[in-house]
Structure 1
Amino acid sequence: MLDNMPRGTICIEDLEIGMTRGLSKLITDRDIELFAEVSTDRNPVHLDDAYARDTIFEGRIAHGMLTAGLISAVIGEQLPGHGTVYLGQSLRFMAPVRPGDRVDAVVTVTAIDHAKRRVTLETHCSVGKTVVLKGEALVLAPSRKFD
């Protein structure tokens, strides 16, 4: 369902409260390894099975910001989409994401300030019925007036 969402731009003039977009991604070992390389976060809870088994997670987990990056992908590609500028994001990590989990990232418009081109978005990620991340984003949306 989420894999087939349209990409592109929704200008602020066309946004509506309640509008939702999302994506679904299977988190792989390669994703975790690449994120560790790019971010330089090589915490062994993400990369070392033996180490991670002895943590409160009892196994390896994906970086929280890897999961949060899926929210960024929805905002930058779908809602509002290309030309959007991130102004802020709050995040609350609710549960771990593990290699092999399919994460559904969903963004919903909750407020629109047309005068300032600012849009508030509810953001959350889930694995199955378990919410793993929730938060709120504030973005500067593209406008046809500035094309």
Structure 2
Amino acid sequence: MLDNMPRGTICIEDMEIGMRRYIRKEITDRDIEMFAEVSTDHNPVHLDDDYAQDTRFHGRIAHGMLTASLISAVIGEQLPGHGTVYMSQSLKFMAPVRPGDVVYAEVEVKEINHHKRRVTLDCHCAVGDTVVLKGEALVLAPSNKLD
């Protein structure tokens, strides 16, 4: 299941403080397995039911960076969108995400520096009413003006 807003680009000249975009995605076993392959992070807390049952989480959890990658998807596909370049990202992991959870990932424009084409975005991910990740991103936004 994937639910999101239209993809594309919002140039810095068209951005406003408070503008938001989101994606909603169910995290599947396949997502976790594919992320383990791509990242080479095969920690058994993500992949082994028996091992994970004996951890503080009492079951398997998704990689934190898999959840964080949904923030990247919103930034790269919606706000600002295509042509955006990440400069920095802070993240605080608040709660685990489990296989089958539906994650709502949202970014909101916090600050705009038109001169440097930099945009600061508040970021968060939630499962239901539980915030599972929060942070802030700084990006170089696309412009409709030639440099």
Q: What's the CA shift for 1:4?
A: 4.2
- Residue aligning to 1:49: 49
- Residue aligning to 2:6: 6
Query: Aligned-pair RMSD on alpha carbons?
Result: 1.1
With structure 2 as the length reference, what TM-score do the two structures score?
0.97
| Distance across 1 between alignment mates of 2:53 and 2:73 | 31
- Residue aligning to 1:130: 130
Superimposed CA distance per residue, residues 21-45 of structure 1 (whole angstroms, 9 cap, x where no aligned partner) = 0000000000000000000000000
Identity %: 79
DSSP-derived class of the 2:133 partner: strand
**1:119 aligned to 2:119?**
yes
Superimposed CA distance per residue, residues 60-85 of structure 1 (whole angstroms, 9 cap, x where no aligned partner) = 00000000000000000000000000
| Distance across 1 between alignment mates of 2:60 and 2:31 | 13
Q: What's the CA shift for 1:137?
A: 0.1
With structure 1 as the length reference, what TM-score do the two structures score?
0.97
- Residue aligning to 1:97: 97
Q: Structure 1 unaligned runs (5+)?
A: none
Runs of 4+ in 1 over 3 A off after TM superposition: none
Q: What's the CA shift for 1:146?
A: 2.8
| Distance across 1 between alignment mates of 2:3 and 2:68 | 17
- Would you say the 8 A contact 2:4–2:24 is kept in 1? no
- Would you say the 8 A contact 2:46–2:60 is kept in 1? yes
| Distance across 1 between alignment mates of 2:3 and 2:98 | 20
Q: What's the CA shift for 1:114?
A: 0.2
Partner amino acid, structure 2, of 1:144: N
| Distance across 1 between alignment mates of 2:69 and 2:4 | 19
